[in-house]
Structure 1
């Protein structure tokens, strides 16, 4: 990738950063567009994303680069659906940043390695959808945990 346009999306979630982090790393949570996200969340270990897109199964993958619970998570991400060869220069870097204040947490997701402003804009829209799903998963978990 010769250019490096950054996609960036942010969502406010009505929960603590710890609660948001717990949902983010829960392999049963479906915040990543229905894909199952699996990792030990230790620097240097793999992260995988198993799901289905347009009726076709896929497995995206990457490697954990940074873990600073519950403030920052960074990893590489490659998707065979991109049609690009599985080589390091075709991996994106995803960075989740958590900023907690007054009972809510702002979660920002940045993706580097976009080859054009248009590609970054498309990625921003996708990540805004993903962060909306994360918010929904956190809120649903909080509702399920509340006494009736």
Structure 2
């Protein structure tokens, strides 16, 4: 196996970290940012998180576990999608981190996703996270 890569996307959002955090932890708003996926969790460390919906005409149910929660600062969870075609093994899970940093009167939001298996997968993930950031910006700034 080759070196695993990390996809990273960052945006400045003209809203306080608490407003960005509210989007991140509100299931209805998060669904809007996550391409309509239904997100279910209680945001407690060690608890499950699931994502369900449709992507490119295929139904999916992704899963993971909440790894770290620091309100208004950072959220980290693992993520596995059967759509990858990879077996449900720990080495096939990504770790997704949302870092919120105050920036002027707003928030710098960085999303990183570790364990990309190829440069193509890394670029694909970065493009998806860039779209998620656009949605976060729109939702938090309104």
TM-score of the superposition, structure 2-length normalised? 0.92
Provide structure 1 residue ranges, at least 5 long, that are not aligned to the other structure.
143-148
Equivalent position of 2:44 in the other structure: 42
Match of 2:11 in 1: 11
Partner Cα separation in structure 2 for residue 109 and residue 101 of structure 1: 16
Matches for 1:1-148 after TM superposition, within 5 Å? 2-29=2-29, 30-139=32-141, 142=142
For the pair shown, the structure with the greater C-alpha radius of gyration is 1
For 1:42 and 1:125, locate their aligned partners in 2 and report how far apart those are by CA, in whole Å: 28
User: Which stretch shifts more, 50-59 or 97-106?
Assistant: 50-59
Q: TM-score, normalised by structure 1?
A: 0.89
| TM-aligned CA deviation for residue 2 of structure 1 | 4.3
CA offsets per residue over residues 83-123 of structure 1, 9 Å max, x none?
A: 11111110000011001122210100011101122221221
RMSD between superposed Cα atoms in Å: 1.3
Matches of 2:135 and 2:53 in 1, distance apart?
Answer: 15
